Structure 1
């Protein structure tokens, strides 16, 4: 039996970002999440981890849980390679895939992928419809001459039909322009770990709707939102883990709109000064208690369940609980164990 992400995305379920030290740990965590009744399991990507490969490993050891890439770098792959990867991954999943794509920061685009970093939102607005055409290559050749992409694919042999012709595509976005792009062309938005309920209401939902209106779309565009979640019997240790994850993101200017909304400019300045000095301890120390309470859930299992229920439950169509990415399997297992009582009935 498989689930259809296009329908489960409208449910306000609890999901998990599987953070592990290697792909085997990530796959095992996805299996654990499925057994515990989580709605979906998501694989992250960085310079040392492929979300596509990790998601394939997750799919191979699960049967019913939705599998998402959260996110894969959309601009670091050609449209043809990305379309083929997603097509195969959805086949491995049995139609359970949500393809979450992002651009990364401008510096990441330039230094990691050798791209200019210019015009990321218009690029993804061209990319997503092109992917959908490539998934229908069994029906017609693809000849695309666009502003950013030139793709000409004329099959020389029969092309098998894909598992699904409409794989759900979620785009990551932070600032209003990229969020509007998601509203215009994507099936959903992947919300950043620094998002807050206030930023969602103030900026994200209006921008999503504006993008949808511009494209003539009807209905609300769902959000699968990350929430930093650190769980430990020692409350102080959990809060320190959350602070370290917040400091990692707040150290760059990309997310200033979120930080400014909550008057975290002083904290951001101190975090960035500490980063320039190479002082990781000072970076973490610069994250205020108010910052932690605004952005994350952190504490003992009982505390994080209460914090989640009070501030975050029902906020997103899918809530992606995000253990500190550097803390490995034990941190993710702690989140699984803490939140299993809030998920649906475990699978048999």
Structure 2
């Protein structure tokens, strides 16, 4: 099984190079960093991960995922490097294209671009995103990114992003570009993946959900003339349990990403990753 690890919050207690190199030695397939660049002090947005909707204090304590993964890249050779997720409406594709392609090139083609549209209205709007139409903006950005990654002279003309022919190098190591995994549980998420993505990155799902969604994804891909086997499912943020991971894989998942408990020293992190490895690898 392909088993990855996510990064608990605060995400900067132990440097990414140590965490990633330890995870690689233990046999984990991938390491994932998420993002919220800011946490508004005053917000009416509800946190989707709890019944009471209260945003955890730890959501002010994300590391920048690209800097963390760049550090991880330099200390490893095989482990894949993923964002779980990048908030696409909060990043300009002209800048993000170079960030992604440089990281993918320097890591030897190990980057996975997990993306999302966000749920925190005030943050999205402060960062220049159109919260009410954030999928439309995200789709535009993904299309612009693909142009920048695959063409020597790229241009794009849309509602949110509009630029004349430009040159953007280096290109990513992966051809045509790193895989784009779309996160979330929106009702149209599978259709969106079939249209512009390379995989699904859900978190609050059951094996039964994965089995049903895998069939739907296969059908949607076939309708669009795409190879269903090229569209992956990576189940995010799960408890470290071998049977649970196997159930997800048997239901159609390609990867399961488990969540460690927060530890604040290198020795504690090493012990925690060893504990998880014993449970799932």
Q: TM-score, normalised by structure 2?
A: 0.77
Equivalent in 20, 27, 45 of residue 30 of structure 1: 20
Shift of residue 32, structure 1, vs aligned partner: 0.8
What corresponds to 2:76 in structure 1?
62
Map residues 82-231 of structure 1 onto 2, 5 A cutoff: 82-105=96-119, 107=121, 110-137=124-151, 139=152, 141-155=153-167, 159-165=169-175, 166-192=177-203, 194-202=204-212, 204-209=213-218, 211-213=220-222, 215-220=224-229, 221-229=231-239
RMSD: 2.8
Deviations 1:272-301 (A, max 9, x none): xxxxxxxxxxxxxxxxxxxxxxxxx5xxxx
Equivalent in 54, 60, 67 of residue 53 of structure 1: 67
What corresponds to 2:46 in structure 1?
none
What corresponds to 1:283 in structure 2?
none
Deviations 1:247-292 (A, max 9, x none): xxxxxxxxxxxxxxxxxxxxxxxxxxxxxxxxxxxxxxxxxxxxxx
Shift of residue 31, structure 1, vs aligned partner: 0.8
Given that 1:183 and 1:210 are in contact with CA atoms closer than 8 Å, whether structure 2 keeps it comes out as no
What corresponds to 2:257 in structure 1?
320
State the alpha-carbon separation in 1 of the partners of residues 124 and 94 from structure 2: 21
State the alpha-carbon separation in 2 of the partners of residues 153 and 321 from structure 1: 42
Q: TM-score, normalised by structure 1?
A: 0.63
Map residues 329-340 of structure 1 onto 2, 5 A cutoff: 329=264, 333=270, 336-340=273-277
State the alpha-carbon separation in 1 of the partners of residues 169 and 11 from structure 2: 37
Deviations 1:186-210 (A, max 9, x none): 1111122x222233234x3355345
Given that 2:235 and 2:255 are in contact with CA atoms closer than 8 Å, whether structure 1 keeps it comes out as yes
Which portions of structure 1, spanning 4 or more consecutive aligned residues, are displaced by more than 6 angstroms? Answer: none
What corresponds to 1:40 in structure 2?
30
- The 3 A distance-change label for structure 1 pair 52 and 210 is farther
- Structure 2: any 5+ residue segments left out of the alignment? 38-61
- Structure 1: any 5+ residue segments left out of the alignment? 1-11, 230-296, 298-303
Shift of residue 211, structure 1, vs aligned partner: 4.4
Q: How many residues align?
A: 251
Equivalent in 17, 36, 54 of residue 6 of structure 2: 17
State the alpha-carbon separation in 2 of the partners of residues 65 and 117 from structure 1: 34
